[in-house]
Amino acid sequence: MSPAARRILLAVAARRRRFSTDAAASDPSRASQQLPRGKRWDAVVIGGGHNGLVAAAYLARAGRSVAVLERRGVLGGAAVSESDLVPGFRFSRCSYLLSLLRPAILRDLELERHGLKLLPRSPSSFTPCLDGRYLLLGPDAELNYSEISKFSRKDAVAYPRYEEKLENFCKLMDFVIDSAPPELRQEAHFSMVDRMKHRVEKSAFWGHLLRHVMQQGQKNMVEFFDLLLSPASKILNTWFESEVLKATLATDAVIGAMAGVHTPGSGYVLLHHVMGETGGQRGVWAYVQGGMGSVSSAISKAALEAGVQIVTNAEVSQVMVNETSGMVEGVALVDGTEVHSPVVLSNATPYKTFVDLVPSSVLPEDFLCAIKAADYSSATTKINVAVDRLPQFQCCNTNLEGGPEHMGTIHIGSESMEEIDVAYREAADGISSKRPVIEMTIPSVLDKTISPPGFSSSVVGYDMLTPPDLEREFGLTGGNIFHGAMGLDSLFLMRPAKGWSDYRTPVKGLYLCGSGAHPGGGVMGAPGRNAAAVVLEDHVKTK
């Protein structure tokens, strides 16, 4: 295990469930295709992760010819299901829950028609305590009141108001998430008319945002900025007194980040993880039938239907740039194949894109320095475990067939915010946490397609991905699951670097479409959708 690992994401596939090959058999990501020789594409996408597939689908729906090039033999990037790790089991190998995927993408690409089926969890959270007590939370208000009351009646009354407050803030964030940041540019080729039009367009963003702010009112906006700027501990201490409740909620503020509950700005990460929805319910997370690869499969089916050409086992070695004009000319693959296009979208991390793929001679020195200096650190280790029976908790009655404690995310090592912070400080000192924060999910309790009927021992097999493994296997620089830190200095107009937040890059025709761009990480699809809109704005089709 990586010495810096302190948060472990543990996914368990239990017995009693039949394995179905239907999802894999109908998964277009398994079929490698060949690109037509000599074809010049309107756009080429580097990386077949969910954001790259989203961008490709939107571009193809707008009439562009698009090719997606994926290094691995399976599509999906970190949103992938793999069945060859332990025979008979199918794992969501990296990402493991869905909520953040933008509703517009679900509608526009008709993902349900393409096979996406969500399995909402209720309850959604279970925290067992060493003293024999436990806390269940979920979308059921009566359950929440009853459970929280075991620790504090005051907190039980406050909790619905806390959820309502965060939901109001999420409504404000919806507009920001679904828009490209209003980056002002002083392009040398801009005419006076172009400059005025450009300024008006960017001013329109601020005008829309101001209207949303005015609807919130001054008091709410002060509280909103307090949430953005504060450590999660301050926010949660303001609302609640029960340590186990605060710690359970605080896990959302630190998951995937090299940060603690006392880190300024961790309040935003807390908000980031409740911005999504399932079935129209805010903050509700769901399993995906067949694993997270089913998300990527559904998006790839929509992309193929729109005319996208998808090629797996196609690793890009370089972005080809005309050094005289500074324009993109396409990409070169490791086997020497050249794929020509005036537009390239990279779903790789900013570091991978600009340090490994783009010739340094065509990039401004200050931009390249900013990309290299970004925080890609990770404290996340993902362990996928195959077992033949469900784990049992001493604080609950025995449920061999699965009880409410098995349905949602199981939080271990999260009984107090101090416990979480100790784990962080140990990791920051470069040692393995003595009691790491563990988020454990058992998707096979709800998803009957991912595990076989039984084995003769408890642990059948496992797969572990430390930060170096995540970087090597999935191209996640530093093992960071968000393509870079989600601190306040790395969001919105500063993601991935100041002056380049609108998916455009210093190389003409090269765009970022992955989680390293606004609005950041998670299986959200917003970077891909927004990037496609910017490409269409820059390259109006005239033929």
Is the pLDDT score of 8 beyond 80? no
What was the pLDDT predicted at 288?
97
Token pair recorded at residue 537: 């704005």
For residues 221 and 532, which has the higher predicted lDDT (pLDDT)? 532
Encode pLDDT of 38-57 as tens digits: 899 999 999 999 999 999 99
Token pair recorded at residue 22: 């239907």
pLDDT > 90 fraction of the chain, expressed in percent and rounded: 71
- Report the amino acid identity of residue 281: Q
Is the pLDDT score of 283 beyond 50? yes
Structural domain contains residue 2: no
Which residues in 271-378 belong to E strands, given as ranges?
277-278, 281-282, 286-288, 309-311, 316-322, 327-333, 338-340, 344-346
What was the pLDDT predicted at 540?
80
Q: Which residue has the tokens 């065509």?
A: 362
- DSSP labels for 86-147? STT--EE-S---B--S-HHHHHHTTTTTTT--EEE-SS-EEEE-TTS-EEEE-S-HHHHHHH
Q: Which residues contact 401 (CB under 8 A, 6 or more apart)?
A: 16, 390
What was the pLDDT predicted at 9?
66
Encode pLDDT of 210-223 as tens digits: 888 888 888 888 99
**Residue 125 near residue 54, CB atoms below 8 Å:** no
Is the pLDDT score of 359 beyond 70? yes
3-state secondary structure of 39: coil
From its phi and psi, is residue 165 left (phi > 0), alpha (psi between -120 and 50) or beta?
alpha
For residues 161 and 208, which has the higher predicted lDDT (pLDDT)? 161
For residues 203 and 55, which has the higher predicted lDDT (pLDDT)? 55
Structural domain contains residue 1: no
For residues 531 and 543, which has the higher predicted lDDT (pLDDT)? 531
Is the pLDDT score of 28 beyond 60? no
Token pair recorded at residue 445: 């309790």
Token pair recorded at residue 114: 């393409």
Mean of all residue pLDDT scores within the chain = 90
Preceding omega of 519 cis (within 30 degrees of 0): yes
3-state secondary structure of 38: coil
pLDDT > 70 fraction of the chain, expressed in percent and rounded: 92
What was the pLDDT predicted at 269?
87
Q: Kindly indicate the confidence band of residue 101, based on its pLDDT and cuts at 50, 70 and 90.
A: very high
Query: Once rounded to an integer, what is the mean pLDDT over residues 460-470?
Result: 91
Structural domain contains residue 543: no
Encode pLDDT of 385-403 as tens digits: 998 889 999 999 888 888 9
Token pair recorded at residue 107: 């509608």
Looking at the structure of the chain, the number of domains it has is: 1
For residues 366 and 205, which has the higher predicted lDDT (pLDDT)? 366
Is the pLDDT score of 26 beyond 60? no
3-state secondary structure of 528: helix
Distance CA 273, CA 517 (A): 17
Domain holding 80, by residue range, is 7-538
Q: What share of the chain is helix, strand, coil (3-state, %, to 5)?
A: 40, 15, 45
Dihedral sign, Cα of residue 48, residue 53, residue 56, residue 60: positive
**Residue 434 near residue 426, CB atoms below 8 Å:** yes
The domain that contains 394 carries what CATH number? 3.50.50.60
Distance CA 280, CA 497 (A): 34
**Residue 205 near residue 530, CB atoms below 8 Å:** no
Is the pLDDT score of 20 beyond 50? no
What was the pLDDT predicted at 17?
33
What was the pLDDT predicted at 196?
79
**Residue 137 near residue 123, CB atoms below 8 Å:** yes
Query: Which among 335, 375, 324, 299 has a CA at the least distance from the CA of 45?
Result: 299
Query: Which among 420, 517, 466, 371 has a CA at the least distance from the CA of 51?
Result: 517
∠ CA 438-442-135 to the nearest 5 degrees? 60
Q: Identify the weakest region by mean pLDDT among 27-41, 49-63, 149-163.
A: 27-41
Q: Kindly indicate the confidence band of residue 32, based on its pLDDT and cuts at 50, 70 and 90.
A: low
Give the Å distances, CA to CA, from 243 to 122, 211, 240, 420.
22, 38, 8, 11
Encode pLDDT of 56-94 as tens digits: 999 999 999 999 999 999 999 999 999 888 888 999 999
Query: Once rounded to an integer, what is the mean pLDDT over residues 217-234?
Result: 91
What was the pLDDT predicted at 33?
66
Residue-level length of the chain? 543
Q: Which residue has the tokens 């890009």?
A: 316
**Residue 148 near residue 159, CB atoms below 8 Å:** yes
What was the pLDDT predicted at 12?
65
Structural domain contains residue 82: yes
What was the pLDDT predicted at 421?
95
What was the pLDDT predicted at 100?
95
Token pair recorded at residue 266: 């961790």
What was the pLDDT predicted at 2?
41
Three-state secondary structure readout of 352-366: HHHHHHCCHHHCCHH
